[in-house]
Chain A
Amino acid sequence: MARGRLLTAGLAACALAAAGAVRAHHSGAMFDTQKLVTLTGTVRLFQWANPHCWIQLYAPALDGKMVEWSVEMGSTTELYRSGWRPHTLQAGQKISVVVHPARDGSPGAAFVSATGEDGAALGKVLKTVAQ
């Protein structure tokens, strides 16, 4: 572990809080959580994996040019708890995704929510485990 990395973590909590979207795996500092952008496009790949699931989505960039977005989601456990499954998305599927865009302007983003072509929220209705 880089000693300097932790040594410099002094105000990490403040920075983390300001970042807003913070994940189990890493901070959300690279994303602008003050911005919400809706991407409407076509799924190229739904990557069901850890530490994060990803949606690769063909959709217009903020300047209107068609690009491939990398939309970062939670871990498989986090998504499973939210009703997502490995086959929730298929290549070629048309969806709209609300995201926090990357601060550096690259076509990367943090997932917030998604809907299908019919406007219905993606993911199953959550079940409750009997206790």
Chain B
Amino acid sequence: MIRTLAVLLAAALVVSPAHGARNSQRRVQAFAKLPDWSGMWETASSKVITNPAGTGGPGFAKANQLWGNSNPPFKPELEAQYRAGVHDAAAAAAFANSFKGCGEGAVQLEKTFPFVMDSPMVFEVTVTPEQTLLTFDHGEIRYIYTDGRSHPQQDDLWPTPMGDSVGRWHGDTLVIDTIARTAGPFVLDSSIGLSEQAHFIERMRMIDHNTLEDQLTIEDPQRLATPWKLTFRFTRATDLDRMIPYDCEADRNPIVNGKMIIRPPEAPAQPAGAH
């Protein structure tokens, strides 16, 4: 019995193609043809807020193209609704006092594409022959498959916040095609959402050693009169040596009666003046 098991185990090890497998010469050659985008990159808005110690400064809103005064080319029947929204100052002020990116009551835009490309975050790029991964410091991941596949068939596809992305390398430019993004808001200054028919095309390339550029075109015949073209530029983050897991478990900024407050820490406080 034992001899039989030993023989079966040995046979399994011999025939298992994955055991001890190395990258094929073909895959190694495919790697060698790819541009090296490895490292940490930060969005324009991240660059503003990270100086110093997370305190922001003037210019933050200007760094974001999807945050305010975004002016998407809405269809005429939606344009008036958009304009009415952006001119409601009182409502805007109330919103500014209640906006948060995660935690209870949070606007979830930060976890959706394309907003994630314009949020104040750092992301790491991993380029392989089969896929390119954009891993954001708040936990979001974009999977961009570059193995020649098409989008899934209709029956196998459903909307997700990041959508379904496939890419093709055109020289050193990654052309990304994204569909099936969950219908809903895509800019911070309007509740008018994209439809599930929205189609996104990106051309991502390295401008220089410290700059990645992403030219994004959004098409949505149900919402937009014309394709909307945006360009994001990302800067290499040279002061970060690893991705640090992020969560919202210690969120101390609940929204109470429409207003953000500061909640005391859970640890019991000693009487003031105890020290």
* A-to-B contact residues, CB < 8 Å: 1-17, 19-30, 42, 44-45, 47, 49-54, 56, 58, 66-68, 70, 72-82, 84, 92, 100, 102, 106, 108, 110-113, 123, 126-129, 131
CB–CB B55/A9 < 8 A: no
Within 8 A of A (CB), among B147-188: 184-185, 188
| Residues in chain A near residue B52, CB distance under 8 A | 82, 112-113
Of B10-18, B197-205, B222-230, B244-252, the segment with at least 4 beta carbons within 8 Å of chain A is B244-252
CB–CB A45/B267 < 8 A: yes
Interface range, B side:
35 or more
CB–CB B269/A68 < 8 A: yes
CB–CB A19/B96 < 8 A: yes
CB–CB B190/A7 < 8 A: yes
| Residues in chain A near residue B61, CB distance under 8 A | 13-14, 16-17, 22
CB–CB B275/A92 < 8 A: yes
B84, closest chain A residue (CB): A10
Shortest beta-carbon distance from A130 to chain B in Å: 9
CB–CB A17/B62 < 8 A: yes
B25 at the interface (CB under 8 A from A): no
* B-to-A contact residues, CB < 8 Å: 39-40, 46, 49-62, 64, 67-69, 84-89, 91-103, 105, 107-109, 119-122, 137-138, 184-185, 188-191, 209-210, 236-241, 244, 246-253, 259-262, 264-265, 267, 269-270, 272-275
| Residues in chain A near residue B88, CB distance under 8 A | 8, 10-11
Question: A100 CA to B89 CA in the complex, in Å?
Answer: 24
CB–CB A8/B272 < 8 A: no
A17, closest chain B residue (CB): B61
CB–CB B54/A73 < 8 A: yes
